[in-house]
Amino acid sequence: MYVAVKGGERAIENAHRLLAHERRGDRDVAEISLAQISGQLSLGVDRVMTEGSLYDRELAALAIKQARGDLIEAIFLVRAFRATLPRFGATEPVDTGTMQVRRRISSTFKDIPGGQVLGPTFDYTHRLLDPQLAEGSAPEAPVAAEPLAAMPRVTDILGRDGLIEASPQTDDGAPVGDLTREPLSFPADRDLRLQNLARADEGFLLALGYSTQRGYGRSHPFAGEIRFGEVEVEFFAEDAGFTVPLGAIAMTECQMVNQFKGSATEAPCFTRGYGLAFGQSERKTMSMALVDRSLRARELSEEIKAPAQDEEFVMSHSDNVQATGFVEHLKLPHYVDFQSELGLLRKLRAEFFEAAASAEPLQEAAE
């Protein structure tokens, strides 16, 4: 007897109810709060804000809670919400030179004006599981340091002597490229490439950046500077005719200093790779800077032969919301197409065996 596979509507409702139940977990254990997620899983929140391209700690924390800790699912929730928000305009470019620095390191100089500031970092911790943390802990108060003055960027120091290429000058009149509002076409300019990389999956960029270090599009990078702290965001209000401060956001910036270029007419100088992300996102910005530099191959007349240098390849596959959707859509029914493949395959196999059967006597005769 044929049983129609129906009742999908109720099945969906029941599945969602079960999901909500599983999300809550053991009801004897206190429910996790958004403040806990935002305050204690803050690097996860930073990643969701960065790849969700929406700076809102509370919404990102909500998304993480709703997604049961699946960060790509959380990023998806934030993106879908972001797509519905009205756009008032674009802010003035943030000036990371005036950042209230909480961490700042350079690997290219032993000491730099403003000093090396380790800040809150996993670097130099021994990765030993800490049983004390499992019990709940009251960590010591941090050592009070004097507030840090604004710090010059390492690349600016190099730039004064012309040792590194100048940052491209912004054309204030030009509209800001936005690949969420305009369809992307190739070749893409650097502003759109950087936007794509800022939204890109951290793991994908990490692997691509890593591949350049292992020789697939090598670019001889040095971590010129990595800085993390608060920057002011300002918006030019047309009506008022002046710039209005909107507040401060936490950001991480990475400036890579890469192999130099030069020619008969141009003095040799280092080149740049750039990474910028919300919150403390060091791995992301370093990977982004490596890939940004690789994607400048065309502009710097380098031979394009590695995946990380191929902008169509990188930009078309970097978005984890797109990628996860398409990979996971294989869960949807495909039985109509499968049926036609099945029909074709059966026909081809029937023809194959027919041909084989009629060929056998001939072969025997030949023997």
Partner 1 sequence: MNASAYNFAYLDEQTKRMIRRAILKAIAIPGYQVPFASREMPMPYGWGTGGVQVTAAILGPDDVLKVIDQGSDDTTNAISIRKFFAKTAGVATTTSTEDATVIQTRHRIPEAPLHAGQVLVYQVPIPEPLRFLEPRETETRRMHALGEYGLMHVKLYEDIARFGHIATSYAYPVKVNARYVMDPSPTPKFDNPKMDDCPALQLFGAGREKRIYAIPPHTTVVSLDFEDHPFTRYRFDAPCALCGADDTYLDEIVRDDQGSRMFVCSDTDYCEGRQAAGHRGTESAAPHKERAHG
**175 touching partner 1, by CB under 8 A:** no
Largest CA distance in the chain: 98
Residue type (1 letter), 58: E
Residue 136 or 183: the one with the smaller Cβ distance to partner 1 is 183
Determine which residue in the list 329, 361, 362, 363 makes contact with partner 1, applying CB under 8 A: 329
Residue 227 or 296: the one with the smaller Cβ distance to partner 1 is 296
Name the segment binding partner 1 (CB under 8 A); options: 41-49, 125-133, 181-189, 228-236.
181-189
Report residue 192 as tokens.
């759109």
Q: What is the rounded CA–CA span in Å between residue 314 and residue 359? A: 51
**220 touching partner 1, by CB under 8 A:** no
Instruction: For residue 230, report the phi and psi dihedrals to the nearest 5 degrees.
Output: -100, 135
Size of the site for partner 1 (CB under 8 A): 54
**336 touching partner 1, by CB under 8 A:** yes
**264 touching partner 1, by CB under 8 A:** no
Determine which residue in the list 88, 122, 124, 186 makes contact with partner 1, applying CB under 8 A: 186
Residue 11 or 300: the one with the smaller Cβ distance to partner 1 is 11
**340 touching partner 1, by CB under 8 A:** yes
Q: What is the rounded CA–CA span in Å between residue 282 and residue 253? A: 8
Residue 47 or 283: the one with the smaller Cβ distance to partner 1 is 47
Residue 130 or 312: the one with the smaller Cβ distance to partner 1 is 312
**241 touching partner 1, by CB under 8 A:** no
**5 touching partner 1, by CB under 8 A:** yes
Determine which residue in the list 327, 350, 356, 359 makes contact with partner 1, applying CB under 8 A: 327
Name the segment binding partner 1 (CB under 8 A); options: 24-32, 169-177, 223-231, 322-330.
322-330
**353 touching partner 1, by CB under 8 A:** no
Ramachandran class of 215: left when φ > 0, alpha when ψ lies in -120 to 50, beta otherwise = left
**347 touching partner 1, by CB under 8 A:** yes
**321 touching partner 1, by CB under 8 A:** yes
Q: What is the rounded CA–CA span in Å between residue 35 and residue 32? A: 8
Q: DSSP state, 224?
A: E
Q: Do 196 and 179 contact (CB within 8 A), yes or no?
A: yes
Determine which residue in the list 189, 343, 350, 353 makes contact with partner 1, applying CB under 8 A: 343
Q: What is the rounded CA–CA span in Å between residue 255 and residue 262? A: 20
151 burial level (CB within 10 Å; 0-12, 13-18, 19+): buried
Distance, C-alpha 270 to centroid of its chain: 25
**322 touching partner 1, by CB under 8 A:** yes
* Other Cβ atoms within 10 Å of 41 Cβ, number: 18
Site for partner 1 in 270-289 (CB under 8 A): none
**357 touching partner 1, by CB under 8 A:** no
Residue 24 or 298: the one with the smaller Cβ distance to partner 1 is 298
Q: What is the rounded CA–CA span in Å between residue 162 and residue 223? A: 18
- Cis amide linkage into residue 187, ω under 30° from 0: yes
- Residues 293-318 as b or e (16 or more Cβ within 10 Å = b): bbbbbeeeebeeebbbbbbeebbeeb
Q: Do 269 and 164 contact (CB within 8 A), yes or no?
A: yes
Residue 13 or 130: the one with the smaller Cβ distance to partner 1 is 13
Q: How far is the CB of 331 from partner 1 (least distance, A)?
A: 9
Site for partner 1 in 37-96 (CB under 8 A): 76, 79-84, 86
Rg of the chain, C-alpha, whole Å:
27
Q: Do 175 and 144 contact (CB within 8 A), yes or no?
A: no
**16 touching partner 1, by CB under 8 A:** no
Report residue 246 as tokens.
């909107």
Determine which residue in the list 334, 353, 359, 360 makes contact with partner 1, applying CB under 8 A: 334
Interface residues with partner 1 (CB under 8 A) are 1-12, 14, 76, 79-84, 86, 180-187, 312, 316, 321-322, 324-329, 332-337, 339-344, 347-348, 351
